[in-house]
Amino acid sequence: MQVENAIQTINLTKTFKSKIQTSETKFYNRTTVSVNAIDNLNLEINKGELFGLLGPNGAGKTTLVKMLCTLLPPDSGTALINGYDIVKEQMKVKRSLGTLFSVGERGFFWRLNGYRNLEFFASIYNVPRPKRQERILEVLKLVGLENSAFELYQKYSGGMKRKLALARTLLPDPPVILLDEPTTGLDVISSRNVREFVKSTVLETGKTVLYTTHYIEEAAQICTRIGILKQGRIVACDTPDALRHKIKNEEIIYLVVEEIVQDQINKISSLRGVIGISERTDQELMPNQKGLCVELESVDQLPSIFDFLFKQKIKLVNFKREEPTLEDAFIELTKRA
Amino acid sequence: MTVLDELEKIWYFMKRDMISFSTYKTNIAILFLTAVFGALSFAYLGSNASMQSVLKLYGESLTTYIIIGLAFSTYLTQSLTLVQKTINPWALEEVLVSPTGLSTFIVGSSIWSFIWSTGTVVIYLVIGVFVFGIPLSINILGTIIVVALGISAFIGFSMIGSGILILTKQGDPVSALITIATSLFGNVLFPPQVLPPLLQTIAYVLPQYYFFKCIRLMLTGSTIQMILPELEILALMCAIIVPLGYAIYAVCLKTARKNGTLSWF
């Protein structure tokens, strides 16, 4: 069955030209350099997917979001939002999208309260008049601002402003939502609230979300798939689990054992399926204990290790399977590309 | 910490500001022109020639002339800053991603400013009539037409200035120059006929001159037929300035979008 895409980029390209000073002393010695912000990008995001876009600063995340919401015209290629072309069908694209910019507080009116701000945006986003009030109260409740709806925007905290920006994004009930670094500048609790809210919104309403961030674990927690962007190109794209294992296929287990000698450690390293073994000294252990990191070809080799320990009468105090982190994967994959 | 150290710090403060200031060349030129034209405007305002010229051209006192000039210049001032205020680069991105057109934004964002300006005009005229006893006989239709044309022309200028601002990010030279030109050649505080012939020519190519001439006559008992030649020139100027302003604004906006510098400030 063919899966319909909510977002699809087709050879999308954007190059910026900027002048840089080539002499430390002569400000007029300048040369023009071209930077490929988005480089021939092909990306497909399914309907109902919460897709994370990870990338270091300057990778092109915000540029991509701005192109998808029609703010930046592409140099070549195009993208489809909900089936509409971002170059040829801009108005239809705008009607299908809700966009939260990384600095989402700029368009609000400081002397109006939260409700009145949303009332204004509801009108320009064509929310039908009879449903307007109900919808505003609904989104305010969704983001947890129902009790502060009639407070002046200028009195809102940073977290509340972000939530109101999120409410504005959801106001027209768009099928596709672009969230550009939605938790930047938020405290831990507010960030978690936003993440949980985004995840539940996708699950409950079937919306498609493109979520850009440079917080790796944030993407790992909520996204169904993650794309890693570097210099305008997707260098890896998969589920968080698959990305973790993209850099290392082997299993790493951590063992804490008692009364083991070097000869026994050497014997473990020569067991079938054991790639390597190393002693870890960063954990607090009793004087008769040792912490060992064992790299295995696969988890199937575990019984032979336990069997060896049992036969050698080595007491196993602790055992932990160590997963490669998404951060490891991110650093490795962006380094490789 | 000696006095010399403190003086050195003050020197570096001044040096910092001087270097920053020197990079805004347009602003320096505008400041210079504002001072020169401001001084000239008030010099002409206080001259006997102004009083005689006003009496001869409009048959009214200098007080009536100045009050009408100041009252209706509020419409032009509002119009000149309108596009920049309502479609500023800070809010522009939020506007452009919504399914609402730019023209709706400009019109929608301007309505309250013009209601407020109308209130200001009424206050000026009420004070003029009841405190200074200026005689008014208003042609309402003619006044509305002239105000609409004046506002349109100045929105055109506003679009040119805002477009340049979006691109250069360094001040709006067009609005500044129009403001200076209005004070000296605009027929606001004194008739340009008191200026040397060469400077009078400048007045005749500016819509402000025709706007204020028509509005004065519409408030003092003239009919639309009597101001038709000036009204036609004002309408013609609008027909040129408004599309030109829109085109310049659109090109500058497109360029800034293409370069990705829309929200840079």
Q: Which residue of B has its CA nearest to A18?
A: B259
Alpha carbon of A14: minimum distance to chain B alpha carbons (Å): 9
Tokens of B125: 């005229």
Residue A246 contacts by C-beta under 8 Å, 6 or more apart in sequence?
Answer: A236, A238, A329, A333
8 Å CB contact between A18 and A32: yes
Percent of chain A residues past pLDDT 90, beyond the cut: 39
Is the pLDDT confidence value at A290 over 80? yes
8 Å CB contact between A79 and A64: no
Strands A176-180 and A97-100: parallel
Residue A292 contacts by C-beta under 8 Å, 6 or more apart in sequence?
Answer: A254, A255, A256, A257, A260, A265, A268, A277, A278, A279, A280
pLDDT of residue A16: 87
User: Any idea which of B55-64, B117-126, B154-163 has the lowest mean pLDDT?
Assistant: B55-64
pLDDT of residue A4: 78
Strands A225-230 and A208-213: unpaired
Comparison of pLDDT for B242 and A284, the residue scoring more: B242
**H or E segment to which residue A320 belongs:** strand A315-322
In chain A, residues with a C-beta closer than 8 Å to the C-beta of B95 are 107, 124
8 Å CB contact between A168 and A99: no
Average pLDDT over residues A119-126: 91
Is the pLDDT confidence value at A44 over 60? yes
Strands A233-238 and A289-296: unpaired
Q: Which site among A14, A33, A35, A71 would you substitute to test the B interface, given the most B Cβ atoms closer than 10 Å to its Cβ?
A: A71
The reply to whether residue B100 touches residue A70, judged by beta carbons under 8 angstroms, is no
Is the pLDDT confidence value at A233 over 60? yes
The reply to whether residue A14 touches residue B260, judged by beta carbons under 8 angstroms, is yes
Split at pLDDT 50, 70, 90, the class of A82 is very high
Alpha carbon of B257: minimum distance to chain A alpha carbons (Å): 5
SS3 call for A87 = coil
Tens of pLDDT, residues A156-173: 988 889 889 989 998 999
Which residues of B lie inside 8 Å of A (Cβ-Cβ)? 90-91, 93-100, 104-105, 254, 257-260, 262-263
- Kindly state the greatest CA–CA separation across chain B: 77
Is the pLDDT confidence value at B265 over 60? no
Strand partners, A44: A8
Calculate the CA B179 to chain-centre distance.
5
Tell me the average pLDDT of chain A. 86
Task: Tell me how far apart the alpha carbons of residues A18 and B243 are, in angstroms, rounded to a whole number.
Answer: 31
For residue B33, which of B192, B199, B212, B173 has the smallest C-alpha distance? B173
Is the pLDDT confidence value at A23 over 60? yes
pLDDT of residue B55: 74
Tens of pLDDT, residues A170-216: 899 999 999 998 888 777 887 888 888 888 877 788 899 999 988 88
Sheet holding A208-213: strands in order across?
Answer: A97-100, A176-180, A208-213, A50-54, A225-230, A233-238
Minimal Cβ distance to B96: which of A71, A121, A125: A71
pLDDT of residue B206: 94
Q: Which site among A33, A34, A66 would you substitute to test the B interface, given the most B Cβ atoms closer than 10 Å to its Cβ?
A: A66
Alpha carbon of A118: minimum distance to chain B alpha carbons (Å): 13
The reply to whether residue A71 touches residue B258, judged by beta carbons under 8 angstroms, is no
Split at pLDDT 50, 70, 90, the class of A3 is very low
User: Any idea which of B86-90, B170-174, B204-208 has the lowest mean pLDDT?
Assistant: B86-90
Q: Does A63 touch chain B (CB under 8 A)?
A: yes
DSSP classification of residue B193: G
Residue A210: phi and psi, rounded to 5, are -105, 120
Split at pLDDT 50, 70, 90, the class of A283 is low
Q: Does A17 touch chain B (CB under 8 A)?
A: yes
8 Å CB contact between A279 and A292: yes
Strands A50-54 and A225-230: parallel
A/B interface, count of CB pairs below 8 Å: 54
User: Any idea which of A286-295, B64-73, B124-133 has the lowest mean pLDDT?
Assistant: A286-295
Is the pLDDT confidence value at A21 over 70? no
Q: Which long-range contacts (CB under 8 A, 24 or more apart) does A328-335 make?
A: A328/A244, A328/A247, A328/A248, A329/A236, A329/A243, A329/A244, A329/A246, A329/A247, A330/A54, A330/A216, A330/A228, A330/A243, A332/A247, A333/A228, A333/A235, A333/A236, A333/A243, A333/A246, A333/A247, A334/A55, A334/A56, A334/A228, A334/A230, A334/A235
Average pLDDT over residues B119-128: 92
8 Å CB contact between A245 and A309: no
Tens of pLDDT, residues B210-233: 999 999 999 988 999 999 999 999
